[in-house]
A = this chain, B = another copy of it.
Amino acid sequence: MAAPLPDAPGAGRGRRPRRTSGDDRERAILATAEELLGQRPLSDISVDDLARGAGISRPTFYFYFPSKDAVVLTLLDRVVEEARASRAAALRRAGDDVRASWRGALEAVRDTFAAHRALTSAAASLFASSAEVRALWSEVMEQFVAETASAIDAERARGAAPPGPPARDLAVALNWMNERVIHVTASGQQPALAEDDLLDVLLTVWLRTVYGGDGPR
């Protein structure tokens, strides 16, 4: 409301300038949130629960975070970073094999979010109400889409993939498909795929969409 206040250096996404002593409390709040989310949905967790869990009073909570949502956003930020890193590592590992690289990237993302189901559900429930969560998510998806689109363009350029709609458009559709199917499968929503089939099915759709068949050439 008052000033733009530029991101403080050292803060991951610049939520607040680091303190030295209160750092422990901040961590305690985060840890409490993660633990409670494993037990019940975000809507059943109050600021008071978070504060008590961290051994502080409710007003003190507000010294560290502006709201319950901000806690989840911080947590989500970390997981997103983890997913990005793990995906990048998988891509690096796969080298030139396009099929393997897409499979690896997909697997990395799936595993990261599967390892944080509770948080993922919480983030999903904030999606509608929090512009910050939406923005963060857009940013991640945008990165994945951009990477996918340039991979498709590369395959087309070397004649391995046929022409068709703009690569970016296909990339948008394919990445949102992944997002939704992974989410649905992990959260038990129906209709879903069996966890074991997920990778194969999504990969088939990707390959057929990009190559017009089950692989390059």
Contacts and interface: CB of A to CB of B under 8 A. Distances in A.
Interface of A: 41, 43, 121, 124-125, 127-129, 134, 138, 141-142, 145, 164-166, 169-170, 172-177, 179-181, 184, 189-193, 197, 200-202, 204-205, 208-209, 212-214
Q: Helix, strand, loop or mixed for chain A's interface?
A: helix
Contact of A170 (B145, B189, B201): B201
Contacts of A41: 128-129
A213 to B, nearest CB: 5
Given A128-B128, A176-B177, A184-B176, A209 B212 contact: no
A138 B189 contact: yes
A129 B204 contact: no
Nearest to A177: B177
Contacts of A165: 197, 200-201, 204
Contact of A173 (B138, B166, B175, B201): B201
A131 to B, nearest CB: 11
Contacts of A191: 138, 141-142, 145, 172, 175
Given A193-B173, A204-B170, A125 B134 contact: no
Contacts of A128: 41, 43, 121, 124-125, 127-128
A41 to B, nearest CB: 8
A136 B41 CA distance: 20
Nearest to A142: B191
29 contacts: A41-B128, A43-B129, A124-B127, A124-B128, A134-B189, A138-B190, A138-B191, A142-B191, A164-B204, A164-B214, A165-B204, A169-B193, A169-B197, A170-B205, A172-B181, A173-B177, A173-B193, A173-B201, A173-B205, A174-B205, A176-B177, A176-B180, A176-B184, A177-B181, A180-B180, A204-B209, A205-B205, A208-B208, A212-B214
